[in-house]
Structure 1
Amino acid sequence: MYIIKVKGVAKIPDYVQLRDDKFTLLAYFRVDRPEKSLDKAGLGDKTDYIMNIVKELPFGQILKLDL
């Protein structure tokens, strides 16, 4: 699984994308509201772990996650 942090512009907030190994979009959510999207993707129990990574991840960088 891959995680990408996307910088928002003007009124558009920052977003996070979670993608599988084939780079198919699994979840797309605002940095300040991850719960609903992560629950839908079946990752609700890993919300704290994912959000700690998001806080440290620079914008535009792709990081491989091993969940």
Structure 2
Amino acid sequence: MYIIKVKGVAKIPDYVQLRDDKFTLLAYFRVDRPDKSLDKVGLGHKADYIMNIIKDLPFGQILKLDVEQQS
């Protein structure tokens, strides 16, 4: 899975994209409202782990993440 954090401009908020290994979009959500999107793709139980990574991830950087290895 890949995480991309995108900086919003003007009235468009900052958001996050979660993509699979084929780079297909899995989830797209605002940085401040991840809950329903993560639940929808089955990652609600990993929300704290994912959001801690997103918090420190610079805008525009793509990070490969293996959520299956995390508890």
- When normalised by structure 2's length, the TM-score is 0.93
Q: Which sections of structure 2, spanning at least 5 residues, go unmatched?
A: none
- Partner Cα distance (2:30, 2:41) in 1: 14
- 3-state SS of paired residue (2:26): strand
What pairs with 1:1-67 in structure 2 (closer than 5 Å)? 1-67=1-67
| Identical columns (%) | 90
Q: Which sections of structure 1, spanning at least 5 residues, go unmatched?
A: none
RMSD, aligned CA = 0.3
Q: Which runs of 4+ in 1 moved over 3 A?
A: none
